[in-house]
Amino acid sequence: MRYSKDLIVAVKYLYEKGFRSSEIARRLGVSPFTVRNVISILKKGPKVKEFVWKDRAGNKVVLRVPENIYNVLEYLRGKRIVKYTREILGIAMPTILFMR
């Protein structure tokens, strides 16, 4: 099953802040099993895409591109709970983040 990258980043952020998985599930509105699976994905480590080609001299060139980091607030906007972000994330957010 594929999970949204925004969901993964949101779970990672809250997990690093010390929230329990049941609390993360309640705050993000997802299943506790989904949170458990995402945490296990995060423990396996980041995936890195590799692009390999040969240059003109015939040398092998490897370009490693890490996964993009997505904004936690974009995931919360998708859940239509931006106005409660301060309580959800447990941090104070500047007002500029709430402007469209």
Strands 60-66 vs 48-54: parallel, antiparallel or unpaired: antiparallel
DSSP string, 46-79: --EEEEEEE-TTS-EEEEEEEPPPPPHHHHHHHT
- Tell me the per-residue pLDDT of 18-76, one tens digit each, with 9 for 90 and over: 999 999 999 999 999 999 988 887 887 656 556 566 777 788 776 554 454 444 455 55
In degrees rounded to 5, what are phi and psi of residue 87? -75, -35
Q: Region 82-98: what's the mean pLDDT?
A: 46
